[in-house]
Structure 1
């Protein structure tokens, strides 16, 4: 168990063995990581089973995968955070925010499960409120209005058929009367516009600069009279239709009976279609409202219950903060600890790893080997000859320039006189420097030169801590 906890803490076992007093600290960090992963498994199981309706046989394996993911993230968070350094809080801030986010996600299903009974009761009220609102919309909506109108028409037609035409039809519900009335109203609006135009031509106005009974006024009067005649015709047709519907003679009764018998099947069909449409909407809402039991409605119920009860709101807040603190525990424990022997040895090990890597690189590529020597020196020469070939390879352009004799500088000209010949952009000082011997000193392990502390190797970089 201790090995598991130390592994979860992200510590290096080979270094931790050198400081046994630090093992308890890292076992505590590993225990915090294990605790958060177990809570993550329980939380995800509740969320999948209650919110999504997943069976426990499927929810438990998925929750275990989620717990392993949380364990890996927490282990990465605590292993990458440094316990020392002046900037550790600034560096740890993104990891703290990530830990808080994970805590919010994991703690919410646990809080919902604790208040399950209160949430279920509130969900019933929420569903009933939604049903009442939908019923109100059903009774006042366009579909409900159409159903009401068709039912009245069907009842009136059935009364006419039952009385064999003795019961008069309601003129206000007769389709022909309704159509004629709509045409009459539109024609009356047009007639009023034509009348206003005629009066404008007679007496002047904003759109009629010339007034008087001229050709324009006569044309406007003719249009108005035609429109008025159309209105009068429609009024006569409406009155005739009303008389037919309310007449009591035998022929009128017979005609009403025939019209009602012909119109009833069509009206009944329209009524049945409207009722089915209204029923389908109600059934769809009932099915959705009955099966709605997910995470969103539970969060809504929890917020409503917490808002109504002060005690429940305080308890909810305390439990939420408790689970959030537990989820952030690994990062908090890591930040609160002071650097100990483990951190010091870890820093030394990191420096030693750097030195070993540097020496390995230097022995292969770092320096030119001596011209003569033992077999190890010859091996070093073979390994690094390619790099020194690059350094010692002559530049063809410079070799060509050096074969040419430079012009003798003028006795009166200064060595760095800008008016003097530039020798192909090279000054005399630069040519003199190129002819000087190299001053590099190779640290070798033979008796002909200085001896390096790393025997048999060529030192490219000096130790920064020697």
Structure 2
């Protein structure tokens, strides 16, 4: 327990040597340190999970996720520890809030960032269903677009095929009627279209000739229709319309499994809307409350420090800080005096040296002139 306590003291950014002297403050800083530690832990898990989806499918995805998660968690831990420890309890409440306001704004952003990947994991099942539905709708739209383009591009050929199909159907019906009338003429059935004479006579031969012409035309139309079908089929293959089809259940599962962070994030946002475009309040509140929870959790270290009353540790650490500043200034003054003294000494030495040089030069000049 002593090791755990000291660890959380370290997390809180407290000066352990000073804090040990005030047992009444121990639990408070254990709580602050634990809050900072678990905030960094959740940030590490969230960052690692987000990075795992960024590199999903890569053999190094797990390694990248662990590395980034550790770096992200350490960065959040260091920032929380520094800002919480830098809040001066000697100031007024307003001054403390001003000191903490950048941290609170930053905490809101960090809370949103670290909560989003965890929200993706919590709503994983619903996100997969939304992605499957989106992929299926996208495939339908793609097929509709290709068909529309195909119909517009080959409108004349499709119109000709339709005309040939209608003519074929009409010829088949006429051939059936003509064959029936021929049979009636041969067997002597009296109708408006037959003579009623039994046998293969003149009228029967005429009907046989008409039937043969229609059958010949049907063969021609059928051949043309087959050629047109073959041409349009090749065009479908060329345009890619024959290869595209709707996804089956297995393909949709595979697509949702390999979906990237961006697609999953979009699907999470779409969960808050119904199919008719109205807001799904229940899902919206569920997702929002998770985000608010992490924002609050991220702000807790600062709130705990702000809400806690000024204790003996705060007074002591402020005095230690003032004493350190005082001694630092004294050391600075002493160093400046020593520097000035050394400078003056060197200056005096330089002046004496210059005097000696000038005197020697004067003596030399005097002797030289006297000799001349």
- TM-score range, shorter-chain basis? 0.5 to 0.7
* 1:216-295 alignment runs, 5 A limit: 272=234, 275-279=237-241, 282=244, 291=255, 293-295=259-261
Q: Shift of residue 36 of structure 1?
A: 0.8
Distance change (3 Å), C-alpha of 1:65 and 1:270: same
Instruction: Report the equivalent of 2:272.
Output: 306
Structure-2-length-normalised TM-score: 0.61
Instruction: Report the equivalent of 1:214.
Output: none
Contact 2:111 2:291 in 1 (8 A): no
Out of 19, 37, 59, the residue aligned to residue 65 of structure 2 is 59
Q: Shift of residue 19 of structure 1?
A: 2.3
Secondary structure, aligned partner of 1:82: coil
Q: Shift of residue 290 of structure 1?
A: 6.8
Secondary structure, aligned partner of 1:307: coil
Please provide the CA RMSD for this pair: 4.0
Aligned equivalents of 2:150, 2:269: Cα separation in 1: 35
Structure-1-length-normalised TM-score: 0.50
Out of 107, 114, 120, the residue aligned to residue 115 of structure 2 is 107
Instruction: Report the equivalent of 2:16.
Output: 13
User: Larger Rg: 1 or 2?
Assistant: 1
Out of 46, 69, 76, the residue aligned to residue 70 of structure 1 is 76
Q: Shift of residue 274 of structure 1?
A: 6.5
Contact 2:50 2:117 in 1 (8 A): yes
Q: Shift of residue 101 of structure 1?
A: 0.6
Q: Does 1:318 align with 2:289?
A: yes
Show structure 1 runs of 5+ residues with no match: 158-259, 367-379, 395-466
Contact 1:81 1:92 in 2 (8 A): yes
Instruction: Report the equivalent of 1:83.
Output: 89
Aligned equivalents of 1:327, 1:281: Cα separation in 2: 52
Contact 1:36 1:327 in 2 (8 A): yes
Distance change (3 Å), C-alpha of 1:79 and 1:127: same
* Count of matched residue pairs: 276
Aligned equivalents of 1:330, 1:33: Cα separation in 2: 6
Contact 1:151 1:271 in 2 (8 A): no
Contact 1:147 1:275 in 2 (8 A): no
Q: Shift of residue 300 of structure 1?
A: 3.1
Show structure 2 runs of 5+ residues with no match: 165-223, 275-279, 352-372
* 1:49-448 alignment runs, 5 A limit: 49-50=52-53, 52-53=55-56, 55-86=61-92, 87-140=95-148, 142-147=149-154, 149=156, 272=234, 275-279=237-241, 282=244, 291=255, 293-308=259-274, 309-366=280-337, 384-386=341-343
Contact 2:143 2:241 in 1 (8 A): no
Between Structure 1 and Structure 2, the one with more helix by share is: 2
